[in-house]
Structure 1
Amino acid sequence: MSELANPAATLIHIIQSAAQAESGLEQMQQIVDNICDTLQMDVCSLYLRQRDDSFLLLASRGLKQLHPVMIPPGQGLVGQVLNNKQPLLITEPQQHPAFFHVSDSDEEQFHSFAGMPLIYRGVVKGVLVVQRLNTELPDAAQQALLSTLAIHLALIINSGQFSLPSVALEQKNVVHQGISGAQGLAIGKARLAQQARLADVSRKEQQDSDTEEMRWQLLKQRTMSELEQEKHTIREQMGEGLAAVIDAYQLMLLDPGFETMLTQEIRQGAELSWALRKTIEFFSEQFRALPDPYLQARAEDVCHLGEKLYQVLQGESLQHPDSDNQEPLVLVGEHISVSDIANLAAQELAAIVCFEGAALSHIAVFANALGIPAIMGVGRLALNNGDLLVVDGDNGEVVTSVGKNLLREYRRLIRERQQTDARLVAESKQPCVSLDGQAVALLANSGLQADAEPGLRYGAEGIGLFRTEVPFMVRASLPSEQEQADIYAAVLRQYQGKPVYMRTLDIGSDKPLPYLPAVQEENPALGLRGVRYTLDNPALLTIQLRAMLRAADGNDQLRLLLPMIGSSGQLDECLQLLDDALQALRQEGLTVVRPQVGIMVEVPSAIALLPKWRDKIDFISVGTNDLSQYLLAIDRNNSLVSRWYDALHPAVLLELQRIVSIAAAAELPVSVCGELAADPQAVVLLLGMGIRQLSMSAAKIPAIKYLIRHLTVAQCQQLFEQACELDDATAIRALLQAFIDQQMAVGQ
């Protein structure tokens, strides 16, 4: 028996030596080799769990592998480890009822078996197996080491940092998991967005700063001109709202802070391309450091601008593909830019796949607006132009090496989806009224001018939440009052005659402005954010209030939303600043009216105070995302605990019911603008408890409207009563899904 004199040192040796491998697959092989050598095992094998619960032998030492080894779902000793989520240590494994014989492997000669599950956040990702020719099982120290290694291997496998072996790549229907940026299904041929990358620029020096600055000014002019051309193309093909994305790039390009940093790099001796890279990296990193996913996604906008500048510098921009192409295309690349989309005919583009990126990027916004699926952060794929791809935006998956059977199935699903979507879009123009005559207002959430266009197309009755942070984040300095007023006025014009709920700045330590002093806090989510931040910086809030009032231009379309209100003192200070802004603008001769004012109910302390605020506010809007995580004490963006987060937790539902009851008694209109508003299961309960206004991403409006038009509020009330009798979110969701399935079957 092998003695482990220093288990910690052994563990470090195995992991560190494997880390030197050139590929993830070699790393796995190195680990199984080291385990065999260190623990004196005759066999060490690593099995990777597949989507159908089968297991692929990823790496092994000691087993014969004359062909790819695949353990069928539910079979074999590794299947036992999966089912039990526990180590399995037995002698004479071939006598076990679950034993699965792999032909030509000679494994019947091994008389001991120890299988360790590779578990990542409750999910078995694979199984690590060691075997010996004799019946000796690993001792306690060896078992502890194997268990620790299993945790490390689960982390590596989940990270997706390795590729499957060639035998797996030769299989059909290879699935690559990413993040859904836009839902939908598509089949098309890959079109690779391959251009010179700013990130590949190496350090270059120059001796003539004046000449280099002149090059910069010429580059800026050429880039602005091309952006104008692209904006025209997008406006013609996709609408005014999406063309506004180009405005964000132009604003960044003209921003004094951007100009100052770039010219400073040049004056310090950097050649233009290197100065570009340094400047773009600085501003993009500012966004990536923010914990808020919506604002993190703005880093991609900075990167897209950098790539555009570099392509113009290299003379590679505005390269149009063949216009004769009639086949659906999937645009694929590390960073897909708006320019890449503008240079493709809209009718050609079937889907977008980004190796990097987030669900809230501008590219995802474009995909949603165009009604095509988008997958972000899928990792680098080995593709050639013309490779056939299936893009499943519903599940965030890209399928390569597509087999005929799967292709046939996806084509059937796409036909059915097209029929369903046509029905949903046709109904989206109809009034949102339940079968028993209850009207429900559906509004759109937005944070960009580009977000607004799809909402109008899908019949949104206004904007229920306009996030005003973005104009502050796409620049290196605070936007002026006039710049803010122009942005807000454009959104109000797009929704002329409809209410627009504008939330004042929700910034702070959890999503700071990169050009303001950072505040270090141990728990930013409970710290200086929302109105807590703006009331500490009242000039910031005053300028924004003035800009909103000026943008409203004397009409009553504007609704003012105050985030993170948790006390009467905070509310009173905000209202006083509003009154002061109104008075000052009137003294300046402007026609302004006091907008309706409401609060975001997201801090639990606000709930009990609602009756005391009935004469101070005109409405309330429930931010279920923050409210749920505060009630459950779970950060939903923390992957370590997010599996415990469910906004249909019984405690959350009871608090929502309490809010609705208090609001009704105080005669305060109440709406929901968090993710629950777009969750079909949750919508049934929200209607059942009395909510009659919902705000969601524009793409979700048709489906939610269709659902509401095919149920009765009386049914929802009955289901809400049944749900209140349950004490588990999973059971509540099962109850609701069964009802929805039944209603949709009747509706069809």
Structure 2
Amino acid sequence: MSVTGQDNKELQQEFVIVGEPIVPGIGLGKALLLGKSSLRIRELTLPQEEVEHEISRYYKALKRSRSDLAALEKEAKGKQGYQEIASILQAHLEIIKDPLLTEEVVKTIRKDRKNAEFVFSSVMGEIEKSLCAVQKTTATTVDRVQDIHDISNRVIGHLCCQHKSSLGEFDQNLIVFSEELTPSEAANANPEYIRGFVSLEGAKTSHTAIVSLAKNIPYVANFTTELWDTINEFSGTLVLINGDKGEITFNPQLSTIQTYYRKQASVSVTVPVQVQTGKNLPLISLSAQIVSTEELPMIERESPGTSVGLFRSEFMAFSLGRLPCVEEQADQYAQLVQFQCSDIHVLRLFDFGEDKECPCISSSHRSVRWLLEQEKVLKEQLQAIAIVSRIGRLKVLIPGVIDASEIALVKRLFQEEIRLLKGISENILWGSMIEIPSAVWMIEEILQESSFVALGTNDLAQYTLGTSRERSLLGERSRVPHPSVIRMIHHVVEQAKQKNVPVSVCGEMAGDPALLPMFLGLGVKELSAVIPAINSLKMRLLDLNSRECSRLTKQLLRAKTYEEVHQLLYV
């Protein structure tokens, strides 16, 4: 399929709008505007003799929708680095298989003699209302509501026999603009031709962002309605998307395009994983966050020599739909240990709870407390780690600790597994994830039990500020670290320096190039970011010097408001 360009000469000047960077990267292509669905669902009363035919029509639409999703999920499972996409599509399949969507809809069609489109839309609307009524507005709620919209559009499209062009059908480079970009639209996209996503609203923690990140497609979101309305004038024009800065450039000049790509290319080729700019900056390591060992070839391709700074082991369970056995875990961990890089890889123990529910165990606890409650699960994971320690060294990160006693207990259980598996020598460095305020203020004791610590900035900000991780709900402030969070990071780093314990930072902040001067000034030694962000971080590091970083950090530590921090970092 193809997209035609604008001929209006008034639109040929370079024009830039700025939103929130969601997924980093640079992309160039023609603007493709996806409009809202034009379907208007009418309420129709059916003759009694047509009711069973209407039910049959509804079943066919459900079947086709399931087939669509099953095909997408199968494709995702067969590709490296797409495990999170497969998990999201599996969740969509589970929703569409829910008896409520068959029994309740069919029952209502029979009782009220209404058309399937109207009844289905009404039932999905009620589900959405109940979700919003019984749950506070969190990232999980917003994702589920978006999932419901996505599924509704798919089923209603089949009911109305309306074929919507798939983003996998285009054969030219495009930047896709959509008021609400759904996870399945992103999953359909062919990254060879879809070079960027732009949406009116969006969030870094959303399912759509997760899919975009897995496909390495830059994504920018969150514009004012007035600014968004101007985009309609640029359908078909050339667009440059900068997912690092949140910039969308319409009709970019050749010099602008060359500047972006020249800088990006030089970073990809020449900058090492451990970066020192030659401007009196301390050495800083950049490592990768992954959810599956299938992403290891992507690291080798995108940033050779990079170590894994955070392997999120719980995603094995999400991919399988159950907890992995000891052998399955040991196989994955062995692949991690054997992957050649510049440093020891970091494996995080299962981190279940809240928005990451275990597929087969329900609990009110999360992180390490979930593990200690489910001791059999923890022991099996520790056994797999002990087996793999024969092959090589591994750093093991304990999630969500609140004090040193939890670390000591996990280490004691590991020693029990070592004793049971005779002939296996311990080859493990233990680390603690600092993501709860209590851990910040118990850091001296935690450091005594830890060979390294990792600051989990997503949860640390959430629990400190009493907010949702859903970025779009926080507005412009969502990008900006609160002064209290900056001071907490500073406190942890200073205490760790005294004990000579290295500190890494992971989470969204670690992948934001604008925050690099702050982390360098604070003395952070490692940043662990998603693979697509690593080259963007390298690019930013080339422009920094020690004096400026130090001066900026002192100002940030004196800041009292979001606005002051924003002014220092982003203006």
The alpha-carbon deviation at position 220 of structure 1 amounts to: 6.7
Q: Deviations for 1:317-370, whole angstroms, at most 9, x for unmatched residues?
A: 6956898955x4232345445664676654432332335543333443454455
**Within the alignment, does 1:728 sit opposite 2:558 as a pair?**
yes
State the one-letter code of the partner of 2:30.
G
More displaced stretch, 496-505 vs 275-284:
275-284
The alpha-carbon deviation at position 600 of structure 1 amounts to: 1.6
Q: Structure 1 pair 295/599, CA: closer, same or farther in 2 (3 Å)?
A: farther
For the Cα contact (< 8 Å) 1:562–1:600, is it kept in 2?
A: yes
Q: Structure 1 pair 495/708, CA: closer, same or farther in 2 (3 Å)?
A: farther
**Within the alignment, does 1:416 sit opposite 2:259 as a pair?**
yes
Q: Structure 1 pair 440/377, CA: closer, same or farther in 2 (3 Å)?
A: closer
Q: Structure 1 pair 630/181, CA: closer, same or farther in 2 (3 Å)?
A: closer
> What's the counterpart of residue 501 of structure 1?
347
For the Cα contact (< 8 Å) 1:178–1:376, is it kept in 2?
A: yes
- Over the aligned positions, Cα root-mean-square deviation in angstroms equals 5.7
For the Cα contact (< 8 Å) 2:293–2:335, is it kept in 1?
A: no
SS in 1 for 2:275: coil
For the Cα contact (< 8 Å) 2:170–2:193, is it kept in 1?
A: no
State the one-letter code of the partner of 1:564.
G
> What's the counterpart of residue 554 of structure 1?
388
Q: In structure 1, how many angstroms separate the alpha carbons of the residues matched to 2:493 and 2:84? A: 37
**Within the alignment, does 1:364 sit opposite 2:204 as a pair?**
no
Q: In structure 1, how many angstroms separate the alpha carbons of the residues matched to 2:488 and 2:288? A: 24
Q: In structure 1, how many angstroms separate the alpha carbons of the residues matched to 2:373 and 2:360? A: 17
Q: In structure 1, how many angstroms separate the alpha carbons of the residues matched to 2:475 and 2:31? A: 39
The alpha-carbon deviation at position 371 of structure 1 amounts to: 5.3
Q: Structure 1 pair 683/491, CA: closer, same or farther in 2 (3 Å)?
A: farther
The alpha-carbon deviation at position 622 of structure 1 amounts to: 1.7
For the Cα contact (< 8 Å) 1:469–1:505, is it kept in 2?
A: yes
State the one-letter code of the partner of 2:260.
R
> What's the counterpart of residue 662 of structure 1?
495
**Within the alignment, does 1:696 sit opposite 2:529 as a pair?**
yes
State the identity %.
Answer: 19
State the one-letter code of the partner of 2:526.
Q
For the Cα contact (< 8 Å) 2:275–2:284, is it kept in 1?
A: yes
State the one-letter code of the partner of 1:443.
S
State the one-letter code of the partner of 1:189.
A
What stretches of structure 2 of length at least 5 have no aligned partner?
1-9, 111-115
For the Cα contact (< 8 Å) 1:189–1:388, is it kept in 2?
A: yes
> What's the counterpart of residue 192 of structure 1?
34
Q: In structure 1, how many angstroms separate the alpha carbons of the residues matched to 2:305 and 2:159? A: 42
**Within the alignment, does 1:265 sit opposite 2:95 as a pair?**
no
**Within the alignment, does 1:445 sit opposite 2:289 as a pair?**
yes
The alpha-carbon deviation at position 454 of structure 1 amounts to: 5.6
> What's the counterpart of residue 42 of structure 1?
none
State the one-letter code of the partner of 2:285.
A
**Within the alignment, does 1:619 sit opposite 2:452 as a pair?**
yes
Within the candidate set 543, 547, 560, 2:377 is matched to: 543
SS in 1 for 2:504: strand
Q: Structure 1 pair 474/314, CA: closer, same or farther in 2 (3 Å)?
A: farther
Q: Structure 1 pair 375/657, CA: closer, same or farther in 2 (3 Å)?
A: closer
The alpha-carbon deviation at position 419 of structure 1 amounts to: 1.4
**Within the alignment, does 1:388 sit opposite 2:388 as a pair?**
no
For the Cα contact (< 8 Å) 1:467–1:502, is it kept in 2?
A: yes
Within the candidate set 252, 255, 275, 1:432 is matched to: 275
For the Cα contact (< 8 Å) 2:171–2:193, is it kept in 1?
A: yes
What stretches of structure 1 of length at least 5 have no aligned partner?
1-168, 520-527, 739-748
Q: Deviations for 1:668-715, whole angstroms, at most 9, x for unmatched residues?
A: 332122444345564345445543221123333113234546767xx3
Q: In structure 1, how many angstroms separate the alpha carbons of the residues matched to 2:296 and 2:42? A: 37
For the Cα contact (< 8 Å) 1:189–1:330, is it kept in 2?
A: yes
For the Cα contact (< 8 Å) 1:484–1:544, is it kept in 2?
A: no
The alpha-carbon deviation at position 500 of structure 1 amounts to: 3.6
Equivalence map 1:73-88=2 (5 Å): none
The alpha-carbon deviation at position 660 of structure 1 amounts to: 3.2
Q: TM-score, normalised by structure 2?
A: 0.68
The alpha-carbon deviation at position 309 of structure 1 amounts to: 5.4
Within the candidate set 583, 594, 601, 2:434 is matched to: 601
> What's the counterpart of residue 324 of structure 2?
482
Q: Structure 1 pair 601/516, CA: closer, same or farther in 2 (3 Å)?
A: same
SS in 1 for 2:401: coil
**Within the alignment, does 1:180 sit opposite 2:25 as a pair?**
no
Within the candidate set 62, 81, 91, 1:241 is matched to: 81
The alpha-carbon deviation at position 560 of structure 1 amounts to: 3.7
Q: Structure 1 pair 212/181, CA: closer, same or farther in 2 (3 Å)?
A: same
State the one-letter code of the partner of 1:444.
A
Q: In structure 2, how many angstroms separate the alpha carbons of the residues matched to 1:557 and 1:291? A: 42
Q: In structure 2, how many angstroms separate the alpha carbons of the residues matched to 1:322 and 1:642? A: 32
Within the candidate set 541, 563, 578, 2:399 is matched to: 563
The alpha-carbon deviation at position 417 of structure 1 amounts to: 1.0
Q: In structure 2, how many angstroms separate the alpha carbons of the residues matched to 1:551 and 1:212? A: 52
Q: Structure 1 pair 383/644, CA: closer, same or farther in 2 (3 Å)?
A: closer
> What's the counterpart of residue 672 of structure 1?
505
Could you say which structure has the larger radius of gyration?
Answer: 1
Q: In structure 2, how many angstroms separate the alpha carbons of the residues matched to 1:630 and 1:256? A: 30
Q: In structure 1, how many angstroms separate the alpha carbons of the residues matched to 2:319 and 2:210? A: 16
